[in-house]
Structure 1
């Protein structure tokens, strides 16, 4: 079975040169040593307030929602994000995430008169789109770092590796004429 350390080391190729610094640090440690990259247990410090934690959960689920496979919340991505920011981020690395959450919350209160964590999924999608298009203060920096954290957390989790993808160290023989319509899942290794 693949573990989070091995999966994290493979994440570098997914994002290339624009990899968010805490992910790069953790991935570099995974390649350099045999120590666990993401230790079990809670983060060493609390990075988020309770309302920010609720917003991170809501937005994570909008990036990778529950469909026929579990979403980001089921894969414990919000806890992974806080762990990464607490244990692998420098204080300056946290700034775009915390500022982005604050900007999204302020915009939600202005536009919808409700906390962003309590907004409808459509409203949360609109808020994330504003961030992605840099129409919120620091939005683009927030969105790229947040998206990377969500995707990394999900695809290095047990759910992401075993339910969303199918882990086969050797997926089988080569068949160049295999019909694409019969492909069930994308393989990861």
Structure 2
């Protein structure tokens, strides 16, 4: 056998093996996940999520809060695209608790803040009360509020000290009390 034909045969074998495994991975990635079906979030749910997010991250000293970036839409998008149906149902369970039992949207802003503060204290164990609602649903909402806000243009540019990359790198920057975090 000639050297040239041996190299062709080896490349054909390796190329075929690589192509078959690559195709198998691609085929596996194209199959929909049955557990990740969308659960319905209506306009009222989005409004309640936005209001809850605005209480979690309110406006402060000229910096808009989570309500300004309409964090409810971000939360619903993330839940529908990235979370399981069980997680979506946990969030919906919490939403129905604050909407139906606590009548959150009928309360004043001050009363809403007190309600969310009480819920937060129950979920994170600051009180001895056992939550009568979905603690996991509230935790998901809180995590997605923080993620959605600091991923939005408002969160990056107004709440953080945003510098577009590529830019100059300074390895040693003086920190002064009151400076914003770097983004």
Any unmatched runs of 5+ in structure 2?
1-36, 124-129
Residue equivalent to 2:22: none
Aligned length: 136
Distance 1:84 1:103 in 2: 21
Q: How far apart are 1:143 and its partner, in Å?
A: 2.2
Distance 1:139 1:171 in 2: 45
Cα distance, 1:180–1:89 mapped onto 2, change above 3 Å: same
Question: What is the CA-CA distance between 1:184 and the residue it aligns to?
Answer: 2.7
Instruction: From the superposition, tell whether residues 123 and 173 of structure 1 become closer, same or farther in structure 2 (CA, over 3 Å).
Output: same
Match of 1:120 among 108, 123, 136: 108
Structure 1 spans left out of the alignment, 5+ residues: 1-43, 109-114
Distance in 1 of aligned mates of 2:131 and 2:110: 17
**Equivalent position of 1:57 in the other structure:** 50
- Per-residue deviation, 1:155: 0.5
Report the Cα distance in structure 2 between the residues aligned to 1:77 and 1:150, rounded to whole angstroms.
6
Partner deviation per Cα, 1:131-182 (whole Å, 9 max, x = no partner): 221454234222211110100000011111111101235563525xx4633x
Distance 2:104 2:67 in 1: 16
State the Cα RMSD in Å.
Answer: 2.4
CA spacing shift, 1:86–1:50, aligned 2, 3 Å: same
Aligned counterpart, 2:101: 107
TM-score with structure 2 setting the length: 0.64
Q: Check if 1:166 corresponds to 2:161.
A: yes
TM-score, with length taken from structure 1: 0.62
